[in-house]
A and B are shown apart, each in its own frame.
Chain A
Amino acid sequence: MIINHPLLGPRDSAEFIYLGDAKLIDRPNWQAPTAAKDFYEYAYLRDNPAGWHDELWFHEAGDRSWLVVTRNTLTHEISNVALARDVARLRGRSK
Chain B
Amino acid sequence: MHSLKPVTALGGIEPRTDVFHHLSIIENDGLALASFAARRGFELECQTVLKGLLGVVPSVGKAIFNDPISGFWLGPDQWMLTAPRDSHELLADIVKNECGAAASMSEQTGAWVCFDVIGDALLAFCERICSAPIRQMQGGDTRRTSIHHLNCILIKQSAGDQIRIFGPRASADSLHHALFTTATALA
Contact = CB atoms under 8 A, between A and B. Distances in A.
Which of A62, A83, A85 has the largest number of chain B CB atoms within 10 A?
Answer: A62
A4 interface: no
18 contacts: A7-B60, A7-B61, A14-B131, A15-B131, A15-B145, A15-B146, A60-B151, A61-B144, A61-B145, A61-B151, A62-B144, A63-B74, A63-B75, A63-B76, A63-B144, A64-B75, A65-B75, A83-B76
A1 interface: no
Interface of A: 7-8, 12, 14-15, 60-65, 83, 85
Interface of B: 60-61, 74-76, 131, 144-146, 151
A8 B76 CA distance: 11
A61 B76 contact: no
Contacts, number: 27
B131 A12 contact: yes
Contacts of A14: 131, 146
B45 to A, nearest CB: 20
Instruction: Identify whether the interface residues of A are mostly helix, strand, loop, or mixed.
Output: loop
Given A7-B76, A12-B131, A83-B76, A61 B60 contact: no
7 nearest interchain CB pairs? A63-B75, A61-B146, A7-B60, A61-B151, A62-B144, A64-B75, A12-B131
Contacts of A15: 131, 145-146
Given A7-B60, A14-B131, A83-B76, 8 more contacts: A8-B60, A15-B146, A61-B145, A62-B144, A62-B145, A63-B144, A64-B75, A65-B75
